[in-house]
Structure formats: C-alpha cells, structure tokens
Amino acid sequence: MSTTHYDPKNIEETYYPIWENRGYFEIDGNRSIAKPDKHFAIMMPPPNVTGRLHIGHSLTFTLQDIIVRYKRMDGYMTLWQPGTDHAGIATQNVVEKQLLAEGKTKEELGREAFLERVWAWKEESGGIMVGQLRKLGVSPAWSRERFTMDEGLKSSVKEAFVHLYNQNLIVRGNYMVNWCTHDGALSDIEVEHEEHQGNFYHMRYPFSDGSGHIVVATTRPETYFGDTAIMVHPDDERYLHLIGKSVTLPLINRDIKIIADSHVDREFGTGVVKVTPAHDTNDYEVGKRHDLEFITVFDEKGILNHHAGEFEGLERLEARAVIVKRLEEAGFIEKIEEHTHQVGHCYRCKNIVEPYISKQWFVRSEVARGSIDKTNAGLTQFFPPHWINSYNAWMGDLRDWCISRQLWWGHRIPVFYCDDCGHEWASLEEHPSSCPHCSSKSFAQDPDVLDTWFSSALWPFSTLGWGNGDTAGDQLFQSEDMARFYPNTLLITGFDILFFWVARMMMMGESFTGELPFNHIYLHALVRDEHGQKMSKSKGNVIDPLDMVEKYSADALRFTLAVLAVQGRDIRLSNDRLEQSRNFTNKLFNASKFLQMNVPTFKDLADQEITTPLGRYMLSRFHRATAETRAFLDEYRFNDAATVLYRFLWNEFCDWGIELGKASKESVNELGSIFKESMKLLHPFMPFITEYLYHELSGTSLEEGNSIMIMAYPDNTQTDEAIEAEFAIIMDAIVTIRRAKTLVDLGNQKIDLAYLKCGGDQAMMDPFISRLAKVETLHFTESKIDNAISDIGDAVEVYLPTDAIDLSPIIERLTKQREKLQKEADKLRGMLSNERFVANAPESVIAENRNGLADAEDKIGKIDAQLSSLGN
C-alpha cells in the first residue's frame, strides 16, 4: 500500500477488519509467539447497551488496549473480555418513552409483550458503542462478547442469588430505602446529592392542653402528616420542661408526644425536630429506638394518602405549596426562611429521591468481610495507591445493599411464593413445577428484578464460565478459562465507579471464589477541557471522540489520551494537544520516506549487523527507550511511557539520528532497521500508523503478510555507555558552534574555520560536527584561542577566529542597541532618584520602573560582554 502521503482514514478502515478477521484479538491470536505459562486477563467495563461513546470511555478503552497489545506482543495468552450491560433503568426508560410517544404504556402491553419490545429494541439499536469502539482500534476478543442478560450469564446470576439466599445473606424485609417515584428503590450510591435552594418552614405545633405552641422548622412540610413525635435534646434546658407533653398536629388534629433524644442538634434551627420515622433516614432509627408508630403518608408514586386528610390525592412535591398556603391561612406558619441544603436525586431520571419504607431484597454487608480483609492484606494493589484509602473508608461503613428494583427489564428475582402454604423459596429453575413444601401448583414469582450492578458484579468470573453450565457441583464453577484467567490480572476503569462497580466485584468475587477478582486495579481520573472544566453539553465544551478520530485520526486521539494520563491527575484535553499528536504521526511518516529515499526496504533488526558509530549510538538509545517503556508500562504509567517514545522518536531519532545520518550514508541501512523495530515499541499506543510504516519499510503489505501486532515486543535493553558519551559530545559541539555563529550573525551560513576543545574520538566526531555545524575546517585544540568568538557547552569549548569575519556591522548594531538601552536606563534612574516622584507615584508604578531599570542594565551587561568578545 505504498503512497506519497499518509491517509489515516483509509489505513484505519482497511487494517481493522483484517486484524479482527484473522483472529488476532482472540486468546490464541498470538500463537506464534505465545508462552503457554503466561496469562493476562482484563475485563472491559461493560458499557450500557443504550450508550454512545464519550471521551471518558475513550480513555478507559485506550489504556486497556495499550496494555493488552503490549502483553500480547510480549508473549502472554491474553484475554480482553468485551461485552455490554443491560442497564435496567436506562433501557426501560428508553422503551417506555417510545411507547408514550405512541400513546401507550407498558402496563397496557403487559409484562411479556413489553419485554419482547425491549429485546427487539436491544437487537436493533443496542450495542452501538461496540461498533464505535472499533473506530478507536481497540482489540478485545470480540468472538467472546457477552451481554449481561444472555443465557449463560442469566445462569450465573441465579446461581449467585440462590447461593447467598440459602446462606441467609440475601434477605427480604421492610427497610428504609432511597425511593424514586419513577424508578423505584435505589442503592445509596445511585443517589446524587445536589445543592438545592429551598425553604425552612417554621411551623407552630399547639400544645394539646391549649397552653401555647412550640415551633418546629422543616424543609419538607408535606411529610408532617407522618409525624409521630416531636424531639428535643435531653440536655437542652430550653425544653426540658416540655418533655412528655403532647402537641396536636395542625389541620389533622392528631396528638403526638415530645420526646428527648441526643440525635438533635441544639444549635440548628429551633432545636426542636419533628420525627417522621417512615420518611426520614435518621428519624427511622429514632423511631426504632423509641418504639414510635411508622406512618407512610404517600404511595410509591408520591401521591398523598388518607393520612394527609384534605390533601389526599395530591403529588408530594406539587402538594407542598398547597399545604403551606393552607397552614398560613390557619395561622400555623410562623415564618419562612430561604435555606440551601443538599437534596438527593435519582442518578438516572434526576427525580428528587425520598426516604421510604418498602419491602425489598438486600445483600447483607457480611458478604464483603472477606474482600475487605484480603484487600488490606495487600492481595490487590491499587494504582494510584491512595485509592485504597477511599475504598476502605466506604467499605468500613457499608450498609446492606438493596438489590431489588421495581422494573420489568432485568434479571427477575428467582424467588417464588406459594399461594396455598405461604412457603417462599429461591430456585435455579426458570419454571418450577410445584411448591417444594406442599407440592401445590399455585405459586407466583417475585415481580421485581435485580439491581443492574448485581449482575455486573459477577462480570470478572461469570464471563469465564462460572455458574454457566448445566452440571451441578464443582464442575459448575470451574472451567479452563477460570483456571487460566481468574483472578483477572488487571482492571482499568474510572474512579467514579469505584463504589458502584469495583467494590461490588471485589465483595462478590471473593465471596464466591475465595479470591479477590483482580491482582491490580488502575483507576483513572476524569477527562476535562483545556481549562480544567468538566465537560457538559450546557457549557458547550464536550469533545466527541468520534469527531476527533475523523479530524485527527484514531492514533492521534489515543496517543494524546495516553501522554496526558498521569496517575491520579485529571486530563486536560485540547485541540492543540491533538494537533501535536497528529504532527507526531506526520513526523514518523516523513522519517520513513526520508530513509526510503536512500534505501527502499530494510531488514529486521535481528538480521541487520550494526557496525557504524551512528548505528551503534541509535541502537543504544533505542534499547534505553525499550527499557524505560517496559518499566513504565509494567507500572501502568502510560503517560511516562508515551513521553519516552515521543522523546526517542521525535527528538532523538528524527531530529538527531536522521540529521547525523546525512554525514554517515553507510549507517542508513542500520537506522532504517532500528526505526522499523521502534514501530513495534510504539505499536500499542498508535496501532495503525506503526503497522503501516512497518510494512512500508519492509516492502510488504498487511494484506499479504503478518501483522506487527503479533510480533514480539522489543526486549533488548543493553546499552553502550561509551558510544552514547561520544555522541553527547558531538551534539553538544554542534549546538555550541551554531550558538557561537549566531553571535556574529552567521546563523545558518557555512564558515571556514572553527576550533573545538573537547575529549573523545576526534576522527570519528569530525564528519558529524563539520557537516551539521557547517564548518569547512574543524581544528581540535587543547588550549584557548585568542582573537576569537567563544562559547562554552556542557562538554566542549568553541572558538571562531575573528580575523576572517567582518565584525564592523555587528559592532555597529550592538553599539546602537547599547546607546538606546543606556538612554532608557538613564531616564528611569533619574525618575527613581527624584524624591518627589517616589513620594507621590503609586507603588505599582515605582515597582514597574525599578523592574524596567534592572532589565535595561542586564541587557547592557550582556551587550558589553558580546562587544568584549568581539575585541571592542
């Protein structure tokens, strides 16, 4: 596929299908170099089946692909497990909205017909992101792609549920839960707390004996119908005499007691708190401590019930204004104050979440005990390491996990209830034939489904066959894949789902297998815009990764994300950065073309004898880059590895190696072989252009030959310190001579003579220095040269004789510059010596003048030094 310019779009569209169709992405795709005892496994965080590729996904999957390609080339049998998540709430919402647009509801369709509709939508539109991921050049084992509701994983979910149920680690009961009136029960981590501008309503509760009233402040007056006590602090002297008295609830005339509890904050509000045990998390605990009545005042849809009296039938939030107006009219509102506070919202639909008592299924927190202990024993390592502190803090306060969801789309809870004897049981069977207790045929399955995170918590091992089989016993949990790839070697994901997903996988993996699911966990930060702002559509700063691939190429986007991926630091992505990476691809392309101007094709490095000094030097630098790249990749320091590659290929090879090669034509064959081998080193980061250039330099094509992606990753790290020291002197001499020439306005012109004081192999150095510094004759000296322009480098001294240079124009120019600067300095000095000026001028003006004087004097000193060096 020879061409005169690099066309990334054509290369990407041509190469990816070849890689995939040849099976390179599969476990044995690198069979020619694989070592059977080396295994590497990483799980793709399954994107929602409703999802579209965003920049955060691009970062996750780019980093995963880099490490997978590296390990594959390094001889590991590599499994990168792909798949998608059924995303219970999100997917059901999509289809429900479609039905509403048609004037229908899911209830009108019925459960079975609705689920058929969801499956049809999933097959038609779901998994779009999987296709988008191919645009990035990622290389998971697509033939093994799983869906969290496919038949095998359904079996795993049932197996996990029944196992925990039978151990009494999954229980059902009335608990206070986070309740979304649209989506039902939510776990704690599915509630997003946002600052909300609301009101503090100061309500008067009259004493039942008619002796006055007490003022209670609340942000949710619509819940007061469920109050079953008024609470004060037991040490609050203001209210001690009231403990035990009764008050009458406004409008509904129900009497409740005043109790004392240390939960009350005496300094907040009035120091008097209403207790609504069925609608407040803290009040729920107070209610249990004091054996209070639990009164639920609205239903699952947020509609007020008969306990709300005249307000029955109103929606909870819409009712607030109506209730407050009625209380004001009746004289029960003392005042209303603005109040800013945190309000929980559903992470999916953004509806305000209510604390609500509901009968739900829970995984007991004891399930996590083993994973906590083993993590603290160091059996899983976090990158960056500080994340273990956040993990432990959250796990230490872990509450029972609510896993039931009031949805139709998802894994239906495999629990059945007998209509005749009331027996409850969990079953692995899809359709049990009868009640195991009384043999009745009359029973029903629990209508709820499991939290999406329950099935994705099994992802590291359910995808490897755990619980997927038809046989019982140990064979159900063991498979060749489990033996080879569990625990997974590495997890890469965003820190923002540490508690949603990572912690769940840790607890479930350890609970079912006895081992933590990951050896290493790498949590990357957020991708922000160039100003550090979080990307959002409202700000108009969203970067679409597919647009960036189209504009800059997949390689440029991947390399940019990698080079910015500093552990523990947010990424600031900009078009300038992407442009820089695209320029890098052009630099590589042009380097290849320059080499091929001299030699059409090049041998593999293993077949090329390296004998020239320049070849030996570049080989040593290549080996050094290999050692550094490997070390950084092994520590998941992607940005450092990318920086090493950029420095070597752009700065060392292209800027110096190719330029030095102009003075050593015999080294071009060697340079071409080294550059070709360096494409293997870069390949995990920029798979498309490296594949293309490797074949260009080899005189082959991917269509007819083997891919670079299944060739061995470079591993020779032997360096030649002596030759590197020699070339350090050569490059220092070239830079220093060029700098000395600029002093006398000779810039890029060729000069007749230069003297060089340095160590090293002078005969070897001479051709490189003379050619690149543009010196006709180079004399090596051991002493200072008089009547010469001099400059000193890190390892050399340079002298340019002045007898062959017309210095008069240079001296004249410098003299005029000095005179101008001297006038400016004299003026500033005069102003600063004027006491009246100093006394009246603003301090900022004085400081500015002082800085100006110091700058002028510094420049004068430099010009004097230059004039002195010119013998003037």
Q: Which residues are annotated as a binding site for ATP?
A: 537
**Residue 514's CB: how many other CB atoms inside 10 A?**
9
Q: Can you tell me the distance from the alpha carbon of 433 to that of 609, in angstroms, rounded to the nearest whole number?
A: 76
- Secondary structure class of 703 (helix, strand, coil): coil
Burial of 308 (0-12, 13-18, 19+ CB in 10 A): buried
Q: Can you tell me the distance from the alpha carbon of 253 to that of 332, in angstroms, rounded to the nearest whole number?
A: 13
Angle between helices 128-135 and 55-73 (to 10 degrees): 60
Q: Can you tell me the distance from the alpha carbon of 708 to that of 679, in angstroms, rounded to the nearest whole number?
A: 8
| Half-sphere CA count of 378, side-chain side, radius 13 A | 0
- Tell me how far apart the terminal alpha carbons of the chain are, to the nearest angstrom: 62
CA distances for 583 relative to 5, 33, 364, 790, angstroms: 13, 33, 55, 36
Torsion of CA 94, 97, 101, 105, to 10 degrees: 120
**Residue 73's CB: how many other CB atoms inside 10 A?**
23
Q: List, as residue ranges, the binding site.
A: 537
Whether cis (ω within 30° of 0) applies to the bond prior to 487 is yes
Burial of 418 (0-12, 13-18, 19+ CB in 10 A): buried
Query: In terms of residues, how long is the chain?
Result: 872
CA distances for 615 relative to 74, 449, 653, angstroms: 25, 66, 11
Q: Can you tell me the distance from the alpha carbon of 687 to that of 135, in angstroms, rounded to the nearest whole number?
A: 12
User: Nearest to residue 139, comparing CAs of 87, 71, 85, 74?
Assistant: 71
Relative to beta strand 83-84, strand 146-147 is parallel
Q: Can you tell me the distance from the alpha carbon of 449 to that of 519, in angstroms, rounded to the nearest whole number?
A: 31
**Residue 639's CB: how many other CB atoms inside 10 A?**
17
- Position 855, amino acid: D
Whether 509 contacts 369, CB under 8 Å: no
Q: Can you tell me the distance from the alpha carbon of 693 to that of 589, in angstroms, rounded to the nearest whole number?
A: 7
Burial of 422 (0-12, 13-18, 19+ CB in 10 A): exposed
Q: Can you tell me the distance from the alpha carbon of 644 to that of 632, in angstroms, rounded to the nearest whole number?
A: 9
Whether 450 contacts 413, CB under 8 Å: yes
Does the CA dihedral 323-329-335-337 come out positive or negative?
positive
Token pair recorded at residue 524: 């990357």
In this structure, what are the phi and psi dihedrals at residue 273, rounded to the nearest 5 degrees?
-125, 135
Residue with the two structure tokens 């005029």: 816
CA distances for 384 relative to 68, 375, 389, 494, 684, angstroms: 19, 15, 11, 12, 22
* Cross-strand partners of 176: 357
User: Nearest to residue 48, comparing CAs of 366, 455, 320, 538?
Assistant: 455
Token pair recorded at residue 171: 């229980």
Whether cis (ω within 30° of 0) applies to the bond prior to 234 is no
